[in-house]
Amino acid sequence: MADTNSNLHGSYAYHDTLKGVYYGPGCVHTALPTLLAVLGGTKALVVTGKSLREKTNVVTNVERILKDNGAFAATFSEIGQHAPVQGIIRGIEAFNAAGADIIVSIGGGSPIDATKAIVYRLQKQAGGKFLNHIAIPTTLSAAEYRGGAGYTDEQGNKVGVSDPMISPAGVILDAELTLATPEELWYASRLSLASQGLYNPVLPYPMKAFCYAALSDLFKYLPKSKAQPGDLEARQRLLIAAWMSLWPVKVEKYGPLGLSHSLGHKLGATYGIPHGITSCLTLAPVVTLKADVASPSDKAALAEALFYLREPSTGSVEGDVRRLGSKIDELVRGLGLHRTLASYNVSRANLPTIAKLALAAADGPELQRKTEALLESIYDE
């Protein structure tokens, strides 16, 4: 019987909102005015985090460009890690108080997702068109390419909203703006989605080629960037790899991104672990687990990654998947990002609950048991 998960039928289109992705060191100086003109933005609210606003000149430089073009309204810098909902509510208040007509988000996944949630809530409150949003990422989270937004509610749970129209209308990938990003945050923020895209049922089959290319560049340029933090070429290649790992695609509904991502949401929201670090914790063991539990087509897709990493086959599909998990672990350790759950004060007694919450309702007790064992394997050493 043919494997029904082979994804050999499908279609592809950009999000309706995306008007342009501009990339290159220093490109923000020309790309931002260009996007403002294309989108008709005249008063921009800058949305970012406190550290980026107070400890670097990145936000100040973007503000200067907006002011030079007569398009600066105000800056809101109260977005915290995992985008607490209180920051989203206050961001809406700041947008209305400034009389803004467009938002420019700067930073990692938290300010970008928070801005998408702000856009979603503003549209629900007022009706009519969705607000335009220009994203300027300074990490490799790739949140700027997804029509969904995750944030933390009042009870500390990771929740989200989804609509293709909340995707940013413009994206600016400028490697110069990443130089001030803390090293751990820069290196930790991208491995997960490139690997998970290989077995994501929502992703059209041709887009998986981008995931292979992204993995290849991540394995090549993350160590280069660590060895030479000022290497703009390596940083720019990594920003583009992040783009390839979550290439914008128009879908009817966004589904879950994979077990590693789901575990990361539960761990991050509950224990305050940065999302990039949760990927470093869970991705290698999740990929290894896939050698036992994935469908034949998903195993084959993961095994094929070894070719793009210039690694020889082990002689079996399952062995190749485990080898990929091992290579991811080696990369994480080489970047100095190996961590344990115990080091973040995760309760050992809570591991079964975390596993249950991360799994879909249709997943059976066997996968629950294996996921608990996975968490136990990364608890301590």
Distance CA 376, CA 3 (A): 32
Please report which confidence band the pLDDT of residue 157 belongs to, taking 50, 70 and 90 as the band edges. confident
**Which ranges constitute the DSSP H helices of the chain?**
28-39, 50-55, 58-68, 85-98, 109-126, 183-188, 191-196, 208-227, 232-245, 259-271, 275-293, 296-308, 317-334, 351-358, 365-377
How big is the CA angle at 158 (ends 96 and 97), to the nearest 5 degrees? 5
Given a cut of 80, whether residue 362 has pLDDT beyond it is: no
Work out whether the CA dihedral 65, 20, 40, 169 comes out positive or negative: negative
For 21, the 3-state DSSP assignment is strand
Provide, rounded to the nearest whole percent, the portion of the chain with pLDDT above 90. Answer: 66
The per-residue DSSP string of 332-351 comes to: HHHTT----SGGGT--GGGH
| DSSP letter string, 175-243 | GGGGTTS-HHHHHHSSHHHHHHGGG-TTS-GGGHHHHHHHHHHHHHHHHHHHH-TT-HHHHHHHHHHHH
Average pLDDT rounded to a whole number, residues 242-248: 87
Residues 6+ apart with CB under 8 A from 347: none
Render pLDDT for 93-152 as a digit per residue (tens, 0 to 9): 999 999 999 999 999 999 999 999 999 999 999 888 899 999 999 999 899 998 889 898
Q: Per residue in 189-214, pLDDT tens?
A: 666 666 777 877 667 778 888 999 99
Give the pair of three-digit tokens for residue 123: 């549209």
Residues in the chain: 381
Q: Which residue matches tokens 């979603």?
A: 120
Q: What is the pLDDT of residue 6?
A: 46
d(CA 259, CA 8): 23
Alpha-carbon Rg for the chain, nearest whole angstrom, is 20
Residue 11 has pLDDT above 70, yes or no: no
Residue of 308 and 200 predicted with greater confidence: 308
Report how far residue 220's alpha carbon sits from residue 217's, in angstroms, rounded to the nearest whole number.
5
| pLDDT more than 70, % of the chain | 91
Confidence at residue 204, expressed as pLDDT on a 0 to 100 scale = 76
pLDDT reported for residue 266: 85
Tell me the pLDDT tens digit for each residue of 47-103: 999 999 999 999 999 999 999 999 999 999 999 988 899 999 999 999 999 999 999
Report d(CA 304, CA 195) in Å as an integer.
11
* Structural domains of the chain ordered from first start: 1-180 (3.40.50.1970), 182-381 (1.20.1090.10)
15-36 tens-digit pLDDT: 678 899 999 999 999 999 999 9
